[in-house]
Chain A
Amino acid sequence: MTVLTDLGIREIRDGVRVGTFSARDVADAFVVAVSKAKPLNAFLVETPDHAIAAATATDDARASGEVLKPLAGVPIGMKDLFCTKGVTTTAASHILGGFTPQYESTVSQNLWDAGAGMLGKLNMDQFAMGSSNETSAFGNVISPWRRSDGGNAPLAPGGSSGGSAAAVAARICPGATGTDTGGSIRQPAAFVGISGIKPTYGRCSRWGTIAFASSLDQAGPMARDVRDCAILLEAMAGFDAKDATSLKLDVPQWEAGLNASLAGKRVGIPKEYRVDDMPEEIEALWKQGIEWVKDAGAEVVEVSLPHTKYALPAYYIIAPAEASSNLARYDGVRFGLRDLPEGAGLQDMYAATRAAGFGEEVKRRILIGTYVLSAGFYDAYFTQASKIRTLIARDFERAFEQCDVLLTPTAPSAAFALGDKSADPLAMYLNDVFTVPSSLAGLPAMSVPGGVDKAGLPLGLQIIGRALDEQGVLNAALAIEERAGFVARPEAWW
């Protein structure tokens, strides 16, 4: 008998369409799986009613002979950064404790319109700031993976979309939404052995998504394979008049366009992505990836992205600067927490509310952002970083004159143990060294599982494409996926 929770998005969609099983059976199976998986701490809120209502609507539509919607019968997890009408949305922070949006984010609305149901809201790094899921105000997400060498240390699922990553890897939801500001979809996808794509900036509406750094934030799907990512992304993306940065373009049929042949394509290998102290296993996987794309018919060329080493420090000026202004709205007046000490005035109330409501990493970034934007430092920091961002984007443009996509590792290591890097913010920031440059340039980029390390933990490969060439990214990722034959999965201990 088929275990319904072992099925991916395409299998569920197709099975419901032909009547192999009902949407309700699928929803019920995942609702039970979610409720059993509390030790992972992946879900902040469970919404079985939402998933079951969507499933019932699908079964009714099928019974009456209607054409089913693209995601009919598919239950998903929703990162808690997306506002969902009537369902608590906190960005994993205390300052938004009890916030119940009166509106629906465009991305989540698009998914419901496509027939998907919601299993619940997924834990994450607070305000999407973090690379390990240790900054959530509601406790760490624990990766479903364990090292095979006998070490039982709880591992980080990556971040900031760590709840989404853990839930998909643990097969308690077949797919989930993530958001990526500097790697928050790709790095956690790599850590747990799933796929995730950040599309071109502007493909997915940011309306109703809680803002971190507006010029970088972009939603994307996380799922078990490349095809499932294409299916989900098609439903999430699209022009939205409510977001001024939304691109007025039709959504391509990415799933129908999937093609794993790279004949006639050139894959660029950026020489600056060899960083000091990179584990030998990452280097070996990268070499293996090069062989795989060659096997798929691609020509491999070395390219240079000379400003790569400046991307991460530029990011840690730009993102906190934007965060410090975006997060100014949390003042204890209009929504969320209010801390009003006895006899306090308005300014004291603001300061007390923000001190009590924001976590340490969020405060640290607001302070850095405030500092780099302050009078006297603005040009030296923010303007300089914005100029370097131009140079980084130019590097990519030049590289794409020589090749169609770039192939790099996703992260500089496999998943680390929770607590290993939390005392050193800088060491944590370095986790995003390979994902941040393409974020700064707004390019589509995807992580796909490539293999496992000595301890049996997943490692990911990253494909970066030209602006708007999600198809090229998905196809190269598919070529790798077919050759990697990644079948490792965590053994259920929860």
Chain B
Amino acid sequence: MSVDIATVKKVASLARIAIDDAAAERLVPELNNILGWIEQLSEVDTEGVAPMTAVIPNTLRLRDDVVNADPLTGGGIRDAVLANAPQAEHGFFTVPKVIE
């Protein structure tokens, strides 16, 4: 499979990365080179092989069902959460207006 300039622009928009025509044009051969190389995977017979979901067998643990079981990752840390926001007002993250 190979990509053209329209596909690159479509993928970039899905990835939420703005690109201009020149960058998209430059990426077409680069991505095709990489995609052409990974194409060799199709020659492997994987009939009946389960895709790997966990690299080391491990059981999923559940956290204690209590509020703020871990103070580091729990609630009550609004200021710490907002500390790095490019723009925060009144205790909220702010974004450009999305509703007219």
Contacts and interface: CB of A to CB of B under 8 A. Distances in A.
A389 B44 CA distance: 11
Contact of B38 (A248, A317, A367, A467): A317
B86 A333 contact: yes
Contacts of B17: 351, 354-355, 358, 363, 366-367
B96 to A, nearest CB: 5
Contact of A247 (B11, B51, B56, B96): B56
A109 to B, nearest CB: 10
Interface size class of chain B, counting residues whose CB lies under 8 Å from the partner chain? 35 or more
Contacts, number: 171
Contact of B34 (A380, A389, A426): A426
Contacts of A103: 72, 80
B44 A307 contact: yes
Contacts of B60: 244
A458 to B, nearest CB: 29
Nearest to B84: A335
Given A374-B14, A442-B55, A385 B41 contact: yes
Contact of A380 (B7, B42, B70): B42
Given A367-B8, A385-B41, A391-B44, A99 B84 contact: yes
B66 interface: no
Contact of B55 (A99, A215, A333, A387): A215
B25 to A, nearest CB: 14
Nearest to B72: A103
B49 interface: yes
Given A333-B86, A355-B18, A202 B58 contact: yes
Nearest to B19: A355
A63 to B, nearest CB: 33
Nearest to A324: B15
A337 B87 CA distance: 10
Contacts of A102: 77, 80-81, 83-84
19 contacts: A98-B84, A102-B80, A102-B83, A202-B58, A247-B56, A309-B40, A314-B41, A317-B38, A345-B98, A350-B16, A354-B16, A366-B17, A367-B17, A386-B51, A386-B53, A387-B46, A389-B51, A389-B52, A426-B33
Interface of B: 1, 3, 7-8, 11-19, 27, 30-31, 33-35, 37-38, 40-42, 44, 46, 49-56, 58, 60-61, 63, 70, 72-73, 77, 80-81, 83-87, 93, 95-98
6 closest Cβ pairs, A-B complex: A386-B51, A442-B55, A338-B86, A335-B84, A351-B18, A102-B80
